[in-house]
Amino acid sequence: MALAVTLPLMSAMPAPAAPVDEVRKTTCYMCACRCGIRVHLRDGKVRYIDGNPEHPLNRGVICAKGSSGIMKQYSPARLTRPLLRKAGAERGAGEFEPISWEQAYSLLAERLAKIRASDPKRFALFTGRDQMQALTGLFARQFGTPNYAAHGGFCSVNMAAGMIYTIGGSFWEFGGPDLERARLFVMIGTAEDHHSNPLKIAISRFKRNGGRFISINPVRTGYSAIADEWLPIRPGSDGALLLALIHELIGQGLYDRDFLVRYTNAGQLVNLDEGSDEYGMFLRTEVPQEEGCFDPQNQLWWDRASNRPVVTHSEGCDPYLLGEFRLADGTPVKPAFQLLQERVKDYTPEWAEGITGIPAATIRRLAQEMGVTARDQKIELPIAWTDCWGKDHDTVTGNPVAFHAMRGLAAHSNGFHTIRALAILMTLLGTIDRPGGFRHKAPFPRPIPPCAKTPNTPLAVKPNSVLDGMALGWPAEPDDLFVDEAGNPVRIDKAFSWEYPLSVHGLMHNVITNAWRGDPYRIDTLLIFMANMAWNSTMNTAQVRRMLNDRDEQGEYKIPFIVVCDAFQSEMTAFADLVLPDTTYLERHDVMSMLDRPISEFDGPVDSVRVPVLAPTGECRPFQEVLIELGTRLKLPAFTTKEGERKYRDYPDFIVNYETEPGSGIGFLAGWRGRGGEKFMRGEPNPRQWEMYAQNNCIYHHELPRSYQYMRNWNQGYLDWSQRSRITRYAEPILIHLYSEVLQKFRLAAQGKGLSRKPPAHLRQRIETYFDPLPFYYAPLEAQATDTRSYPLAAVTQRPMAMYHSWDSQNAWLRQIHAHNYLFVNGRTARASGIDDGDWIWVESQWGRVRCMARHSEAVEPGTVWTWNAIGKAAGAWNLAPDANESRLGFLLNHVISEELPSPRRGEGQGERGQAFISNSDPVTGQAAWYDVRVRIRKADAGEEARTAPQFAPLQPYPGQEKRRSVWTYFARSGK
Amino acid sequence: MTQLALVIDLNVCVGCHACVTSCKEWNTSGAAGPLADLSPYGANPSGTFFNRVQTYEVGEFPHTETVHFPKSCLHCEEPPCVPVCPTGASYKRKEDGIVLVDYGKCIGCKYCSWACPYGAREIDEERKVMTKCTLCVDRIYDTSLPEAERKPACVMACPTNARLFGDVHDPDSVVSQAIRENGGYQLMPEWGTQPANHYLPRRKTRLRIHEDELLRADNPLKIEGRQPRPALSEPSLDDVTSW
């Protein structure tokens, strides 16, 4: 499409450049948000990339990263050829020779076929911030290995698990704050990098509409900068604050009683007979129920009118929420809400002040602001709907207090209970899936917990067989754990074991250490996709790099074969035996699938695609094509016919024609199914599906009727629709778990009660402590294992809005915004240690130390130091010059963070370090506790180098990489 | 007479730098480009950007404000950069008030950047010409673009819509209204430069709760406070005495 440019007033400007030739729409991937973009091309080069105004996510806007896609596409860090480590070269040196794809495929297929035929779990596939877990998960399962996960375990699994195990939904992809109608918005902890453009749009509109924005964060940066009030808090103490807020809301009667009664388990009676195997479980009527993945509605209330137990939701009944009662057989019982009130009794604002650093009066005021806003600024929308108990409602009510939190809450070893407390606070205010509060996004809400399960026995892993179950799932009870008869883990990362029972996203952060140590076993091949596990995505970076290069007594690598697929040269690719060059987001097809994490809106499901805008660079091939090719060569059933022939020509063909089972009509894309594209969610494959997505802004948006857009946990219309669409199996109500029976089941097992599996002796106390059915506060595990007088400061990272993890140091424009990072230290704290602004200092933890530059700041609480995440790089990595700021002046905080803590088995002398260790993670979910580290700082000595330490031997460019320019004058036209 | 300008709302700017790179990508391949990047992959990278965001801390802990401050040419109504230009390269357009540099006449002497009190000009080390924000003059009159998109790239990109664009001389424009109603101000007016660009200050929203709003007749604790009656069969004084 040729565009005529008229510039009538440009007489004194240079002649206008040629107009763009073509505009192609696709989906951004400069971070994980998945905004719609338009790529404007001139002479086959990218002229500019802007936001697609017709896209529901970003509505035309674009961020600093999205606007810098050009510099990613043409970066000299790009890998362009498959590479094999040079014979004799050490891992980490980055010395490679190019090979052909055919060589790469046959080498890999041969090796993997041997593993699959002997012991499939010796192949491990772990992926980073990819957006194709539906495919990578399918590949792993088809291969038969349980050793698969994406990066969630070291990202925000506490957020996912804490909320999904409580309200059946979570922040970001699966739900979020409804700022369009909220009056009060409370953001806790760093959350800038998730759903960033939509959140920026929403916060700005919210503020302009007169909403009040409170930010609770040790640091005032990012969105906190424009908060009406900033409440500096000590890292890891959020749970104490939230519990004190709950204490206040209950104490003042500022909770939404009607909401709690009808939509949560607050009124359900808990068995308190200490001698019973059912202790701490809900009382249930004897009515036989269909077994299924939902809460059967057979619990009891104590009815206020008749003063006797009744089945919940009985017509005309209203339960006591407080009090204690005795059943006819003498069993003592209490409503769950009573137990919650008892739990928070001592969590006073004064108590929380000592832990959080927030004055008690402020905590009281905060609780009152929340409670009064929720109660007195109610929204009533004239939307009729019917609840699961058959009651018709003329309106949808909203209590306009909204929250948002992500990694700041999640990345602590007490994060699961903190986030349970947040979900309960949101519930007490009556804000779940209501206007102005938290709203779900399809395919959530889901049952608590969701139905997917891993196998629960090592027998599920068999040679030449598909894994009998999912690699990742949602345990509902101890019998769902993926352990052997002795209670030992089946997975290499020990996910779903007694160490971290609800590790629903796996523990990628322990894979290398475990594989290196051979605990629980050795593996053969580790395939890493798009994760920088030799640098910023690992804790204990220097040691982990040694592990990657370590050999056993026979001289063999402890991790025998490492394959890395990435579009860019990184610290991790240097450790690969085989490097597979991936395409960029502008060069490939992708799907943001309902089977994974789609881009749904509050008003209904949305999925989306990427379509190639540019031809692949060099010999780059999309990782999806690699998986389909390998799947075909390995004759995995999903990718081959019964006769063992190739089933799918390529990835686009796979996406169109793959069905979860033959004739199921469910595939990766939900939109334009059916032969003519007339069906949604279920329908026959449509050969024109890609085309239809491409013609429709690369999305499919199914807007629900308004009566299905709220109260979805209990909205019969929505749940029926969801069931008919096969989004869920059951159309049963999803009551909020103020009180968690799931957690109690694990605790009972630890107490030796019941018939379920029991934890091994050394983990019994850990399970009993941390599987508390009600949230509680404990100091982060690392703080408990640290002399906090020696290491008085908490060290955390924040996310710069112009960088996504380590992805953008190779981006010539973005690196000019953050070429190196400082450690920000409160001025008073710094001066007390004699540290001037700009001084070189050492940051030391009990695990390691790093040298960096200090910057005084008044926007950080005095007990916290912080820096931007992942700005520091290893010399020569990402094809930066060895003297680039990133490796000279910038630093990586990971050097002072350990991936492990001493375990309850300490002293038994197990393992190569002479002691047993356990992951530095949340004991419930295995969430990496990045933000728990405690440090001290001191000025570097006068004679020391003005350079970060530790340093690593500089990487050299790989074969096929473009030369670094010394000056770049980018101008989109051919030949330049 | 028209005076085009940006009004930047510091109340919603989160410092994301979208304006910085969207400007760069538009202009490097546009009429004002290419905008050079020196040492793009080496030590101390340094390139030409028409927009930059500076971040300041104001006040002492805990009463700290973090202010993100986007800066670009302010298109002054009395631009000190224009009269100092020895070749006439630096000029202000009569028709819309945009201050521009004619690269054909610019000799890179930098007088204008010395004269600019705001530090808004950027020498292009490759071409040895002075560059600066053009308000995307090669976009805003481009009739091949839909009318809604005839705005500077930074305005189109800004995720918080913190950047408003329009004619500050037209009292009915969005920008004039925003300045009028939200306390819009100019930078360093004492210099007499009459910057066309304006900034909108931070505004605070507070909630005042009166003590008597906390206790209400329908407080649910009143319901919860009603304790269950003991069973009639439970022991009572009636069982032990007759008075």
What's residue A18's pLDDT?
A: 63
Ordered by where they begin, the domains of chain A are: 160-447+734-739 (3.40.228.10), 783-898+933-939 (2.40.40.20)
CA distances for A130 relative to A151, A600, A931, angstroms: 8, 18, 23
| Residue B2 Cα, gap to closest chain A Cα (Å) | 13
Q: Do B61 and A858 touch (CB under 8 A)?
A: yes
Instruction: Report the alpha-carbon distance of residue A964 to residue B222 in Å, rounded.
Output: 73
Q: Which of B55, B141, B156 sits opposite A9 (nearest CB)?
A: B141
Q: What are the φ/ψ torsions at residue B232 (nearest 5 degrees)?
A: -60, -30
- Joined together, the tokens standing for residue A186 give 């409370």
Inter-residue contact A216 to A240 (CB < 8 Å): no
First to last CA, chain B: 102
Q: What are the φ/ψ torsions at residue A68 (nearest 5 degrees)?
A: -110, 15
Instruction: Report the alpha-carbon distance of residue A446 to residue A448 in Å, rounded.
Output: 6
DSSP string, A802-823: T--TTTTTT-TTGGGTSSS--E
Find the Cα–Cα–Cα–Cα dihedral B171, B172, B173, B176, rounded to 10°.
40
What's residue B235's pLDDT?
A: 84
Q: Residue A667 in 3-state DSSP?
A: coil
Q: Are strands B37-38 and A229-231 parallel, antiparallel or unpaired?
A: unpaired
Which of A816, A824, A860, A967 is the mutation pick for testing B, counting most B CBs within 10 A?
A: A816
CA distances for A730 relative to A136, A357, A724, B174, angstroms: 27, 45, 9, 51
Closest CA to A708 of A688, A694, A724: A724
Instruction: Report the alpha-carbon distance of residue B144 to residue A18 in Å, rounded.
Output: 13
CA angle A816, A819, A821 (to 5 degrees): 135
CA angle A919, A510, A486 (to 5 degrees): 70
Instruction: Report the alpha-carbon distance of residue A785 to residue A490 in Å, rounded.
Output: 28
**Range B103-132 average pLDDT:** 95
- Which residues face A404 on adjacent strands? A187
Closest CA to A78 of A585, A424, A687: A585
**A37: Cβ contacts below 8 Å, ≥ 6 apart:** A25, A26, A27, A28, A49, A50, A51, A52, A62, A66, A69
How many secondary structure helices (H) and strands (E) does chain B include?
7, 11
Instruction: Report the alpha-carbon distance of residue A161 to residue A176 in Å, rounded.
Output: 15
3-state secondary structure A226-269: HCCEEECCCCCCHHHHHHHHHHHHHHHCCCCHHHHHHHECCCCE
Q: Which of B34, B138, B202 sits opposite A970 (nearest CB)?
A: B34
CA distances for A840 relative to A832, A853, A942, A948, angstroms: 15, 4, 9, 9
Inter-residue contact A582 to A136 (CB < 8 Å): no
Q: Do A885 and B148 touch (CB under 8 A)?
A: no
Q: Do B64 and A858 touch (CB under 8 A)?
A: yes
Q: Do B59 and A858 touch (CB under 8 A)?
A: yes
Ordered by where they begin, the domains of chain B are: 4-200 (3.30.70.20)
| Residue B57 Cα, gap to closest chain A Cα (Å) | 7
Q: Do B159 and A200 touch (CB under 8 A)?
A: yes
Q: Show residues of chain A in contact with B60, CB under 8 Å.
A: 858
| Residue B169 Cα, gap to closest chain A Cα (Å) | 19
Instruction: Report the alpha-carbon distance of residue A264 to residue A250 in Å, rounded.
Output: 15
Q: How many CB contacts within 8 angstroms connect chain A with chain B? A: 297
**Helix (H) or strand (E) run with residue B21 in it:** helix B18-28
Dmax (CA) for chain B in angstroms is 117
DSSP string, B81-118: TTTT-SSS-EEE-TTT--EEE-TTT-----HHHHH-TT
Q: Show residues of chain A in contact with B24, CB under 8 Å.
A: 67-68, 813
What's residue A161's pLDDT?
A: 98
Q: Show residues of chain B in contact with A23, CB under 8 Å.
A: none
CA distances for A455 relative to A168, A458, A476, angstroms: 22, 8, 13
Which range is least confidently modeled, B138-142, B175-179, B228-232? B228-232
Q: Is-cis flag, bond preceding A950, omega within 30?
A: yes
pLDDT at B203 over 90: yes
Which of A3, A6, A13, A310 is the mutation pick for testing B, counting most B CBs within 10 A?
A: A13
Percent of chain B clearing pLDDT 90 (strictly above):
87
Q: Do B31 and A68 touch (CB under 8 A)?
A: no
Q: Are strands A793-798 and A864-868 parallel, antiparallel or unpaired?
A: parallel
**Helix (H) or strand (E) run with residue B180 in it:** helix B174-181
Closest CA to A723 of A440, A447, A421: A447
Which parts of chain A register pLDDT below 50? Answer: 1-15, 909, 911-914, 976
Q: Residue A824 in 3-state DSSP?
A: strand
- Classify burial at A711, counting beta carbons within 10 Å of its beta carbon; exposed 0-12, middle 13-18, buried 19 or more: buried
How many secondary structure helices (H) and strands (E) does chain A include?
23, 37
| Residue B75 Cα, gap to closest chain A Cα (Å) | 16
Q: Residue A463 in 3-state DSSP?
A: coil
**Rg of chain B over all Cα atoms, to the nearest angstrom:** 30
Amino acid occupying residue A953? A
Q: Is-cis flag, bond preceding A687, omega within 30?
A: no
Q: Show residues of chain A in contact with B136, CB under 8 Å.
A: none
CA angle A512, A514, A516 (to 5 degrees): 65
pLDDT digits (tens, 9 = 90+) for A478-529: 999 999 999 999 999 999 999 999 999 999 999 999 999 999 999 999 999 9
| Residue B109 Cα, gap to closest chain A Cα (Å) | 19
- Joined together, the tokens standing for residue A959 give 């074969």
Instruction: Report the alpha-carbon distance of residue A298 to residue A407 in Å, rounded.
Output: 37
- Classify burial at A908, counting beta carbons within 10 Å of its beta carbon; exposed 0-12, middle 13-18, buried 19 or more: exposed
What's residue B224's pLDDT?
A: 83
What's residue A907's pLDDT?
A: 52
Which of B1, B9, B20, B21 is the mutation pick for testing A, counting most A CBs within 10 A?
A: B21
- In sequence order, which ranges of A846-943 are alpha helices (DSSP H)? 885-888
Instruction: Report the alpha-carbon distance of residue A843 to residue A703 in Å, rounded.
Output: 51
Instruction: Report the alpha-carbon distance of residue A79 to residue A446 in Å, rounded.
Output: 41
Inter-residue contact A701 to A689 (CB < 8 Å): no
Q: Do B40 and A812 touch (CB under 8 A)?
A: yes
- In sequence order, which ranges of A170-210 are alpha helices (DSSP H)? 196-208
First to last CA, chain A: 22
What's residue A905's pLDDT?
A: 63
Inter-residue contact B198 to B175 (CB < 8 Å): yes
Instruction: Report the alpha-carbon distance of residue B73 to residue A740 in Å, rounded.
Output: 58
What's residue A160's pLDDT?
A: 97
Inter-residue contact A635 to A646 (CB < 8 Å): no
CA angle A422, A426, A429 (to 5 degrees): 140
Number of C-beta neighbours around residue A245 at 10 A: 29
What's residue A131's pLDDT?
A: 81
Q: Which of A67, A810, A972 sits opposite B157 (nearest CB)?
A: A67
- Joined together, the tokens standing for residue B156 give 């189109």
- Split at pLDDT 50, 70, 90, the class of B217 is confident
Q: Do A203 and B214 touch (CB under 8 A)?
A: no
DSSP string, A14-73: PPPPPPPSEEEEEE--SSSS--EEEEEEETTEEEEEEE-TT-TTTTT---TTGGGHHHHH
- Joined together, the tokens standing for residue A971 give 């101008």
What's residue A2's pLDDT?
A: 40
